[in-house]
Amino acid sequence: MKSSSTKISRELSRAADILNKDGVVGIPTETVYGLAASIFSKEGISKIFKVKERPSFDPLIVHISNLHQKEDIVREWPALAEILAKNFWPGPLTMVLKKNTKLNSMITSGLDTVGIRMPKHSVALELIDQVGPLAAPSANKFGKTSPTSAEHVKSEFKEEVFVLNGGTCEVGLESTVIAIEDTKILILRPGMISEKMLRDATPHARISYAESSASPGHLKHHYQPKIPLYIFEGEVSAETISSQIQNQNWKELELDTSPAIAARQLYESMRKLSNKKLDALIVLKKPNHSSADWLPIWDRLTRASSKTY
Ligand code: TXA
Ligand code: MG
Protein backbone atom coordinates (compact mmCIF):
# COMPACT_ATOMS: atom_id res chain seq x y z
CA MET A 1 0.00 0.00 0.00
CA LYS A 2 2.76 2.38 0.97
CA SER A 3 4.45 2.20 -2.40
CA SER A 4 1.24 2.94 -4.30
CA SER A 5 0.48 5.97 -2.13
CA THR A 6 4.04 7.21 -2.63
CA LYS A 7 3.56 6.79 -6.35
CA ILE A 8 0.31 8.74 -6.38
CA SER A 9 1.82 11.59 -4.36
CA ARG A 10 4.78 11.70 -6.77
CA GLU A 11 2.37 11.85 -9.71
CA LEU A 12 0.31 14.49 -7.93
CA SER A 13 3.35 16.74 -7.53
CA ARG A 14 4.26 16.24 -11.16
CA ALA A 15 0.71 17.20 -12.20
CA ALA A 16 0.75 20.24 -9.90
CA ASP A 17 4.08 21.29 -11.35
CA ILE A 18 2.80 21.10 -14.95
CA LEU A 19 -0.35 23.04 -14.04
CA ASN A 20 1.66 25.74 -12.22
CA LYS A 21 3.77 26.12 -15.36
CA ASP A 22 0.76 26.83 -17.65
CA GLY A 23 0.39 23.25 -18.86
CA VAL A 24 -2.53 20.83 -19.18
CA VAL A 25 -2.98 17.51 -17.36
CA GLY A 26 -5.41 14.60 -17.70
CA ILE A 27 -7.25 14.26 -14.37
CA PRO A 28 -9.52 11.56 -12.96
CA THR A 29 -13.01 12.42 -11.73
CA GLU A 30 -15.92 10.19 -10.73
CA THR A 31 -17.70 10.91 -14.05
CA VAL A 32 -15.09 10.89 -16.83
CA TYR A 33 -11.47 12.03 -17.11
CA GLY A 34 -10.93 15.75 -17.66
CA LEU A 35 -8.28 17.72 -19.55
CA ALA A 36 -7.40 20.34 -16.95
CA ALA A 37 -5.66 23.71 -16.70
CA SER A 38 -5.52 26.28 -13.91
CA ILE A 39 -8.33 28.87 -14.21
CA PHE A 40 -5.63 31.49 -13.59
CA SER A 41 -3.51 30.43 -16.58
CA LYS A 42 -4.49 32.00 -19.92
CA GLU A 43 -1.95 29.87 -21.69
CA GLY A 44 -3.16 26.67 -20.03
CA ILE A 45 -6.78 27.40 -20.94
CA SER A 46 -5.94 28.09 -24.56
CA LYS A 47 -3.93 24.84 -24.66
CA ILE A 48 -7.07 22.90 -23.65
CA PHE A 49 -8.94 24.16 -26.72
CA LYS A 50 -5.95 23.49 -28.95
CA VAL A 51 -5.13 19.97 -27.73
CA LYS A 52 -8.79 18.94 -27.69
CA GLU A 53 -9.52 20.62 -31.07
CA ARG A 54 -12.50 22.15 -29.33
CA PRO A 55 -14.32 25.12 -30.86
CA SER A 56 -14.03 28.26 -28.76
CA PHE A 57 -17.84 28.59 -28.47
CA ASP A 58 -18.03 25.55 -26.17
CA PRO A 59 -17.50 26.63 -22.53
CA LEU A 60 -15.49 24.68 -19.94
CA ILE A 61 -16.58 23.49 -16.49
CA VAL A 62 -14.63 24.80 -13.48
CA HIS A 63 -13.78 22.22 -10.79
CA ILE A 64 -13.37 23.19 -7.14
CA SER A 65 -12.40 21.28 -4.00
CA ASN A 66 -14.03 23.52 -1.36
CA LEU A 67 -16.84 26.06 -1.29
CA HIS A 68 -14.58 29.07 -0.55
CA GLN A 69 -13.11 28.74 -4.03
CA LYS A 70 -16.42 29.66 -5.61
CA GLU A 71 -15.78 33.33 -4.76
CA ASP A 72 -13.30 33.67 -7.65
CA ILE A 73 -15.70 31.98 -10.04
CA VAL A 74 -19.32 33.06 -9.50
CA ARG A 75 -20.75 36.45 -8.58
CA GLU A 76 -24.06 35.14 -7.20
CA TRP A 77 -24.77 32.15 -5.02
CA PRO A 78 -28.55 31.61 -4.97
CA ALA A 79 -30.25 29.74 -2.12
CA LEU A 80 -30.97 26.87 -4.53
CA ALA A 81 -27.27 26.51 -5.31
CA GLU A 82 -26.50 26.26 -1.59
CA ILE A 83 -29.08 23.49 -1.12
CA LEU A 84 -27.92 21.56 -4.17
CA ALA A 85 -24.26 21.87 -3.21
CA LYS A 86 -25.09 20.54 0.27
CA ASN A 87 -26.94 17.59 -1.23
CA PHE A 88 -24.83 16.66 -4.22
CA TRP A 89 -21.27 17.99 -3.84
CA PRO A 90 -18.81 16.50 -4.13
CA GLY A 91 -20.61 14.71 -6.96
CA PRO A 92 -21.71 14.64 -10.60
CA LEU A 93 -23.72 17.89 -10.69
CA THR A 94 -22.59 21.00 -12.60
CA MET A 95 -24.38 24.27 -11.82
CA VAL A 96 -24.41 27.09 -14.37
CA LEU A 97 -24.39 30.39 -12.46
CA LYS A 98 -23.56 34.07 -13.10
CA LYS A 99 -19.81 34.34 -13.59
CA ASN A 100 -17.41 36.49 -11.61
CA THR A 101 -16.36 39.28 -13.98
CA LYS A 102 -12.69 38.57 -13.22
CA LEU A 103 -12.88 34.99 -14.44
CA ASN A 104 -11.08 34.47 -17.76
CA SER A 105 -13.80 34.71 -20.43
CA MET A 106 -12.11 32.05 -22.58
CA ILE A 107 -13.32 29.52 -19.97
CA THR A 108 -16.94 30.60 -20.47
CA SER A 109 -16.77 31.23 -24.24
CA GLY A 110 -17.72 34.84 -23.57
CA LEU A 111 -20.98 33.92 -21.79
CA ASP A 112 -22.08 35.72 -18.64
CA THR A 113 -22.42 32.36 -16.88
CA VAL A 114 -20.03 29.63 -15.74
CA GLY A 115 -20.45 25.91 -15.10
CA ILE A 116 -19.03 24.84 -11.72
CA ARG A 117 -18.80 21.54 -9.86
CA MET A 118 -16.94 19.74 -7.06
CA PRO A 119 -15.86 16.30 -8.32
CA LYS A 120 -16.11 13.27 -6.04
CA HIS A 121 -12.62 11.87 -6.53
CA SER A 122 -9.93 12.03 -3.85
CA VAL A 123 -7.07 12.49 -6.33
CA ALA A 124 -8.81 15.36 -8.15
CA LEU A 125 -9.74 17.03 -4.86
CA GLU A 126 -6.19 16.79 -3.57
CA LEU A 127 -4.78 18.25 -6.78
CA ILE A 128 -7.26 21.17 -6.66
CA ASP A 129 -6.34 21.74 -2.99
CA GLN A 130 -2.73 22.12 -4.15
CA VAL A 131 -3.13 24.26 -7.27
CA GLY A 132 -6.57 25.90 -7.01
CA PRO A 133 -9.64 25.57 -9.27
CA LEU A 134 -9.22 23.77 -12.57
CA ALA A 135 -11.09 24.31 -15.82
CA ALA A 136 -11.61 20.98 -17.56
CA PRO A 137 -13.70 19.54 -20.36
CA SER A 138 -13.82 15.79 -20.87
CA ALA A 139 -10.41 14.54 -22.03
CA ASN A 140 -11.29 13.46 -25.55
CA LYS A 141 -10.95 15.06 -28.97
CA PHE A 142 -13.99 17.21 -29.70
CA GLY A 143 -17.11 15.18 -30.56
CA LYS A 144 -15.55 11.84 -29.64
CA THR A 145 -16.24 9.33 -26.86
CA SER A 146 -15.41 10.52 -23.33
CA PRO A 147 -12.61 8.68 -21.47
CA THR A 148 -13.33 6.63 -18.35
CA SER A 149 -9.76 5.45 -17.66
CA ALA A 150 -6.24 6.89 -17.77
CA GLU A 151 -5.49 4.51 -20.67
CA HIS A 152 -8.30 6.07 -22.73
CA VAL A 153 -6.78 9.53 -22.27
CA LYS A 154 -3.28 8.31 -23.11
CA SER A 155 -4.48 6.64 -26.30
CA GLU A 156 -6.32 9.82 -27.33
CA PHE A 157 -3.44 12.28 -26.77
CA LYS A 158 -0.36 10.01 -26.78
CA GLU A 159 2.74 11.78 -25.39
CA GLU A 160 1.10 15.19 -25.65
CA VAL A 161 -0.55 15.08 -22.22
CA PHE A 162 0.54 13.83 -18.78
CA VAL A 163 -2.28 11.80 -17.22
CA LEU A 164 -2.80 11.48 -13.49
CA ASN A 165 -4.04 7.93 -13.02
CA GLY A 166 -6.95 7.65 -10.60
CA GLY A 167 -8.36 4.35 -11.80
CA THR A 168 -11.61 3.67 -13.60
CA CYS A 169 -14.38 6.26 -13.28
CA GLU A 170 -17.15 5.13 -10.99
CA VAL A 171 -20.06 6.96 -12.63
CA GLY A 172 -18.87 6.71 -16.22
CA LEU A 173 -21.16 9.40 -17.71
CA GLU A 174 -20.59 13.17 -17.69
CA SER A 175 -22.18 15.22 -14.91
CA THR A 176 -25.75 16.50 -14.97
CA VAL A 177 -25.59 20.15 -16.07
CA ILE A 178 -28.26 22.52 -14.74
CA ALA A 179 -28.85 26.24 -15.03
CA ILE A 180 -30.29 27.96 -11.96
CA GLU A 181 -32.41 31.10 -12.11
CA ASP A 182 -34.27 32.23 -9.00
CA THR A 183 -36.48 29.25 -8.18
CA LYS A 184 -36.09 27.57 -11.56
CA ILE A 185 -33.82 24.69 -12.49
CA LEU A 186 -33.24 23.99 -16.15
CA ILE A 187 -31.63 20.64 -16.98
CA LEU A 188 -29.19 21.33 -19.82
CA ARG A 189 -27.55 17.91 -19.91
CA PRO A 190 -29.09 14.88 -18.17
CA GLY A 191 -26.79 12.79 -15.98
CA MET A 192 -26.83 10.44 -13.04
CA ILE A 193 -28.12 13.16 -10.70
CA SER A 194 -31.67 12.72 -11.96
CA GLU A 195 -34.66 15.03 -12.14
CA LYS A 196 -36.19 13.06 -9.25
CA MET A 197 -33.09 13.54 -7.08
CA LEU A 198 -33.13 17.28 -7.82
CA ARG A 199 -36.85 17.45 -7.06
CA ASP A 200 -36.48 15.59 -3.75
CA ALA A 201 -33.74 17.99 -2.65
CA THR A 202 -35.60 21.14 -3.78
CA PRO A 203 -39.37 20.51 -3.53
CA HIS A 204 -40.20 24.17 -4.22
CA ALA A 205 -38.12 24.58 -7.36
CA ARG A 206 -39.62 24.44 -10.83
CA ILE A 207 -37.64 21.92 -12.84
CA SER A 208 -37.70 21.60 -16.62
CA TYR A 209 -35.56 20.30 -19.47
CA ALA A 210 -33.90 22.64 -21.94
CA GLU A 211 -34.24 22.22 -25.67
CA SER A 212 -31.49 19.81 -26.67
CA SER A 213 -29.44 22.59 -28.28
CA ALA A 214 -29.54 24.94 -25.25
CA SER A 215 -26.20 23.86 -23.82
CA PRO A 216 -23.46 25.13 -26.11
CA GLY A 217 -21.40 22.24 -27.38
CA HIS A 218 -23.96 19.61 -26.42
CA LEU A 219 -24.59 18.94 -30.06
CA LYS A 220 -26.79 16.39 -31.76
CA HIS A 221 -23.72 14.46 -32.89
CA HIS A 222 -21.35 13.88 -30.02
CA TYR A 223 -19.69 11.05 -28.11
CA GLN A 224 -19.10 9.29 -31.42
CA PRO A 225 -17.22 5.99 -31.55
CA LYS A 226 -14.82 5.22 -34.40
CA ILE A 227 -17.36 3.15 -36.31
CA PRO A 228 -21.07 3.92 -36.89
CA LEU A 229 -23.49 3.01 -34.13
CA TYR A 230 -27.10 2.16 -34.98
CA ILE A 231 -30.02 1.95 -32.59
CA PHE A 232 -32.76 -0.62 -33.10
CA GLU A 233 -36.04 -0.32 -31.22
CA GLY A 234 -38.18 -3.31 -30.30
CA GLU A 235 -37.71 -6.99 -31.09
CA VAL A 236 -35.42 -7.49 -34.07
CA SER A 237 -33.60 -10.55 -35.39
CA ALA A 238 -29.96 -10.59 -36.44
CA GLU A 239 -31.12 -11.14 -40.05
CA THR A 240 -33.29 -8.05 -39.95
CA ILE A 241 -30.43 -5.96 -38.59
CA SER A 242 -28.00 -7.20 -41.26
CA SER A 243 -30.46 -6.52 -44.04
CA GLN A 244 -31.44 -3.07 -42.70
CA ILE A 245 -27.87 -1.84 -42.41
CA GLN A 246 -26.77 -3.88 -45.45
CA ASN A 247 -23.83 -5.33 -43.59
CA GLN A 248 -23.18 -8.46 -41.56
CA ASN A 249 -19.98 -7.43 -39.87
CA TRP A 250 -21.53 -5.81 -36.78
CA LYS A 251 -21.70 -6.55 -33.07
CA GLU A 252 -24.16 -5.69 -30.37
CA LEU A 253 -23.07 -3.30 -27.64
CA GLU A 254 -24.82 -4.95 -24.73
CA LEU A 255 -26.14 -2.87 -21.85
CA ASP A 256 -26.21 -4.21 -18.31
CA THR A 257 -29.71 -4.47 -16.81
CA SER A 258 -28.75 -2.00 -14.04
CA PRO A 259 -28.58 1.58 -15.38
CA ALA A 260 -25.78 2.50 -12.92
CA ILE A 261 -23.62 -0.37 -14.20
CA ALA A 262 -24.62 0.24 -17.82
CA ALA A 263 -23.52 3.88 -17.43
CA ARG A 264 -20.19 2.88 -15.86
CA GLN A 265 -19.44 0.45 -18.70
CA LEU A 266 -20.85 2.38 -21.66
CA TYR A 267 -17.84 4.33 -22.97
CA GLU A 268 -15.38 1.50 -22.25
CA SER A 269 -17.58 -0.89 -24.28
CA MET A 270 -17.95 1.64 -27.10
CA ARG A 271 -14.17 2.06 -27.29
CA LYS A 272 -13.38 -1.65 -27.00
CA LEU A 273 -15.83 -2.70 -29.69
CA SER A 274 -14.90 0.07 -32.10
CA ASN A 275 -11.26 -1.06 -31.94
CA LYS A 276 -12.27 -4.48 -33.29
CA LYS A 277 -12.44 -5.15 -37.01
CA LEU A 278 -16.12 -4.36 -37.29
CA ASP A 279 -18.14 -2.16 -39.61
CA ALA A 280 -20.87 -1.17 -37.16
CA LEU A 281 -22.14 -1.32 -33.61
CA ILE A 282 -25.76 -2.06 -32.73
CA VAL A 283 -27.64 -1.13 -29.57
CA LEU A 284 -31.06 -2.54 -28.84
CA LYS A 285 -33.53 -0.21 -27.15
CA LYS A 286 -35.73 -2.34 -24.93
CA PRO A 287 -39.10 -1.40 -23.40
CA ASN A 288 -37.64 -1.02 -19.86
CA HIS A 289 -35.11 1.49 -21.22
CA SER A 290 -37.85 4.11 -21.36
CA SER A 291 -37.79 4.63 -17.59
CA ALA A 292 -36.26 7.81 -16.12
CA ASP A 293 -33.15 6.01 -14.83
CA TRP A 294 -32.09 5.30 -18.39
CA LEU A 295 -32.53 8.87 -19.68
CA PRO A 296 -28.88 10.01 -19.52
CA ILE A 297 -27.64 6.77 -21.07
CA TRP A 298 -29.99 7.10 -24.05
CA ASP A 299 -29.20 10.79 -24.36
CA ARG A 300 -25.54 9.83 -24.97
CA LEU A 301 -26.34 6.80 -27.14
CA THR A 302 -28.65 8.84 -29.36
CA ARG A 303 -25.99 11.50 -29.85
CA ALA A 304 -23.35 8.84 -30.52
CA SER A 305 -25.53 7.10 -33.11
CA SER A 306 -25.78 7.62 -36.86
CA LYS A 307 -29.37 6.40 -37.15
CA THR A 308 -32.29 4.87 -35.24
CA TYR A 309 -34.26 2.09 -36.96
O1 TXA B 1 -18.60 15.21 -15.75
C2 TXA B 1 -18.25 16.22 -16.35
O3 TXA B 1 -18.97 17.22 -16.43
C4 TXA B 1 -16.88 16.18 -17.04
C5 TXA B 1 -15.80 16.10 -15.97
C6 TXA B 1 -14.42 16.22 -16.53
O7 TXA B 1 -16.06 17.07 -15.00
N8 TXA B 1 -16.72 17.33 -17.87
C9 TXA B 1 -17.39 17.49 -19.03
O10 TXA B 1 -17.03 18.64 -19.71
O11 TXA B 1 -18.19 16.69 -19.47
P12 TXA B 1 -17.44 18.93 -21.21
O13 TXA B 1 -16.75 20.18 -21.56
O14 TXA B 1 -17.18 17.77 -22.05
O15 TXA B 1 -18.96 19.25 -21.14
C16 TXA B 1 -19.40 20.37 -20.42
C17 TXA B 1 -20.63 20.95 -21.00
C18 TXA B 1 -20.33 21.79 -22.22
O19 TXA B 1 -20.52 21.11 -23.42
C20 TXA B 1 -21.32 22.91 -22.11
O21 TXA B 1 -22.40 22.65 -22.97
C22 TXA B 1 -21.82 22.88 -20.67
O23 TXA B 1 -21.17 21.85 -20.02
N24 TXA B 1 -21.52 24.18 -20.09
C25 TXA B 1 -20.38 24.60 -19.51
N26 TXA B 1 -20.48 25.90 -19.16
C27 TXA B 1 -21.71 26.31 -19.54
C28 TXA B 1 -22.41 27.54 -19.46
N29 TXA B 1 -21.86 28.64 -18.95
N30 TXA B 1 -23.66 27.58 -19.97
C31 TXA B 1 -24.24 26.48 -20.50
N32 TXA B 1 -23.63 25.30 -20.61
C33 TXA B 1 -22.38 25.21 -20.14
MG1 MG C 1 -17.23 16.38 -23.49
Model confidence pLDDT, tens digit, residues 106-163:
999 999 999 999 999 999 999 999 999 999 999 999 989 999 999 999 999 988 999 9
- At 116, which CATH number? 3.90.870.10
Is 24 in the same domain as 65? yes
**Co-location of 112 and 203 in the same domain:** yes
In the predicted model, what is the mean pLDDT of residues 241-257? 97
Closest-lying ligand 1 atom to the alpha carbon of residue 109: 29
Q: What is the pLDDT of residue 212?
A: 67
pLDDT-derived band at 210 (thresholds 50, 70, 90) equals very high
Residue 116 lies in a domain: yes
Which DSSP category does 290 fall into?
G
Q: Are residues 187 and 122 in the same domain?
A: yes
E-strand ranges in the chain read 25-27, 34-38, 61-63, 93-98, 113-117, 134-136, 162-163, 176-181, 184-189, 206-209, 229-233, 250-252, 280-285, 307-308
Report how many domains make up the chain. Answer: 2
Q: Are residues 114 and 64 in the same domain?
A: yes
The reported pLDDT for the residue numbered 232 is 97
Return d(Cα 11, Cα 112) in angstroms, integer: 35
- Looking at the fold, whether 246 and 191 belong to one and the same domain comes out as no
Same domain, 138 and 68: yes
Q: Relative to the CA of 114, which ligand 1 atom is closest?
A: 29
Q: Do 12 and 161 fall within a single domain? A: yes
Chain centroid, CA 76 distance in Å: 24
Return the pLDDT at 214.
Answer: 60
Query: pLDDT confidence of 218, banded at 50, 70, 90?
Result: low
Provide the total of helices (H) and of strands (E) in the chain, helices listed first: 9, 14
What pLDDT band is residue 280 in, cutting at 50, 70 and 90? Answer: very high
185 CA → ligand 1 middle, Å? 16
Q: Which residue has the least CA distance to atom 13 on ligand 1?
A: 137
Same structural domain for residues 196 and 267?
A: no
- Nearest atom in ligand 1 to the alpha carbon of residue 174 is 1
What is the DSSP code string of 155-216?
HHHGGGSEE----S-SS-SPPEEEEEETTEEEEEE--SS-HHHHHHH-TTSEEEEPPTTSST
Q: Is residue 42 part of a domain?
A: yes
* 6 within some domain: yes
Summarised one tens digit per residue, pLDDT across range 175-198 is: 999 999 989 999 999 999 999 999
For the Cβ of 31 lying below 6 angstroms from any atom of ligand 1, the answer is: yes
CB of 265 closer than 6 A to ligand 1? Answer: no
Q: Give residue 216's pLDDT.
A: 61
Contact (CB, 8 A) for 76 and 129: no
pTM above 0.85, yes or no: yes
Distance 216 CA to ligand 1 centre (A): 9
136 with 271, same domain: the answer is: no
pLDDT for residue 215 is more than 80: no
Average pLDDT, the chain: 94
As a whole-number percent, the residues of the chain with pLDDT over 90 amount to 88
- Closest ligand by atom to 222 CA: 2
If 0-12 CB within 10 Å is exposed, 13-18 middle and 19+ buried, where does residue 137 land?
buried
Q: Report the nearest atom of ligand 1 relative to the CA of 139.
A: 6
Rounded CA-CA distance 132/38 in Å is 7
Residues 11 and 154 occupy one common structural domain:
yes
Instruction: Give the DSSP letter of residue 73.
Output: T
My answer on whether 52 and 98 are in the same domain is yes
The reply to whether 92 falls in a domain is yes
In this structure, are 204 and 242 located in the same domain? no
CA of 175, nearest ligand number: 1
What residue numbers bound the domain in which 289 lies?
A: 229-308
What SS3 class is residue 129? helix
| Pairing relationship of beta strands 162-163 and 307-308 according to DSSP bridges | unpaired
Does the pLDDT of residue 39 top 90, yes or no?
Answer: yes
Q: What does the alpha-carbon distance between residue 267 and residue 296 come to, in Å, rounded to a whole number?
A: 13
Asked whether residue 218 is assigned to any structural domain, the reply reads no
